[in-house]
């Protein structure tokens, strides 16, 4: 069984003496900066009670939520047994190990605190961040591919790739599948919905659609992705990614139903009261 060779891409994008900047770090930076500019554009187009300076502050809050939540989510959801015995390695993000679901929880907390501080409806902030989140997901999955990590299951399809650390078998480039599904496709869907003024009169609608869309696309991609070796398949043959996506889906359905029941003449995202 033959496969395509893995492209010869150095995970280190820029190296100056002992300082090395990896593509993974650049992916996080690109996702945050492009997402920030997109949120600024949305806030300008719709009366949401947030000016550009407030969006600048939101970027800082979200950045901390992504990094702290993503790291602690990985520690708690994926490798708690290991980190109990290696506590000093928990803050060593550069060694790898970030969880999207943990990052989502971290961002949710940071958004809520930001909304309380600015006097804006938390769901409106959630809609803004949800609309931009697939941008970061796209770049993050491309970085996973460049790193040659999180590869897919064995395949005989003509685009199967032989990953350096994945053994001799061609495998699905599942990172690319996820970039296209969780990133490009989900962004396109949310972009179309976000263009409608009526969407912003229903706080929580975009956030709910994002949660539903991510849960579905992630669960589909997991069918082609190799489970982490230290976890394998879990209950009913599901992966950890699929199990963590289930509550996301249910919360998303709840938010959409609640949003659709709201009066579309609601107006801005400023809290009542």
Residues tagged in the binding site annotation: 141
Beta strands in the chain (DSSP E): 4-5, 12-16, 19-22, 161-162
Rounded to 5°, the CA angle 224-225-231 comes to 135
Q: Around 32, how many Cα atoms within 13 Å sit in the side-chain half-sphere?
A: 20
Angle formed by the axes of helices 186-194 and 122-147, nearest 10°: 160
Q: What backbone phi and psi angles, to 5 degrees, belong to 81?
A: -65, -40
R_g of the chain computed on alpha carbons: 19
Q: What gap in Å lies between CA 248 and CA 88, rounded to an integer? A: 31
Would you list the DSSP string of 229-244?
A: TTT---GGG--HHHHH
Q: Is 268 exposed, middle or buried (0-12, 13-18, 19+ CB in 10 A)?
A: middle
């Amino acid at each position: 069984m033959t496969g395509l060779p893995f492209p010869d891409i150095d995970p280190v994008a820029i190296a100056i003496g002992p300082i090395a900047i990896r593509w993974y770090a650049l992916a996080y930076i690109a996702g945050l900066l492009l997402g920030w500019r997109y949120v600024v554009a949305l806030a300008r187009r719709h009366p949401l009670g947030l000016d550009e300076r407030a969006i600048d502050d939101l970027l800082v809050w979200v950045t901390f939520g992504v990094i702290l939540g993503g790291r602690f989510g990985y520690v708690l959801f994926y490798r708690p047994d290991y980190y109990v015995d290696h506590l000093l390695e928990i803050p060593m993000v550069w060694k790898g190990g970030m969880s999207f679901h943990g990052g989502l929880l971290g961002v949710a907390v940071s958004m809520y605190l930001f909304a309380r501080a600015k006097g804006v409806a938390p769901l409106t902030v959630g809609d803004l961040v949800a609309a931009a989140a697939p941008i970061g997901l796209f770049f993050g999955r491309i970085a996973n591919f460049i790193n040659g990590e999180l590869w897919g299951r064995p395949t005989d399809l003509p685009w199967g790739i032989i990953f350096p650390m994945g053994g001799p078998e061609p495998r699905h480039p599942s990172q690319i599948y996820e970039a296209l599904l969780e990133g490009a496709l989900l962004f396109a869907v949310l972009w179309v919905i976000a263009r409608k003024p009526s969407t912003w009169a229903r706080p929580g609608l975009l956030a709910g659609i994002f949660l539903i869309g991510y849960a579905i696309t992630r669960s589909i991609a997991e069918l082609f992705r190799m489970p982490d070796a230290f976890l394998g398949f879990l209950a009913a043959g599901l992966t950890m990614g699929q199990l963590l996506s289930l509550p996301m889906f249910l919360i998303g359905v709840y938010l959409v139903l609640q949003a659709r029941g709201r009066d579309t003449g609601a107006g801005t995202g400023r809290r009542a009261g």
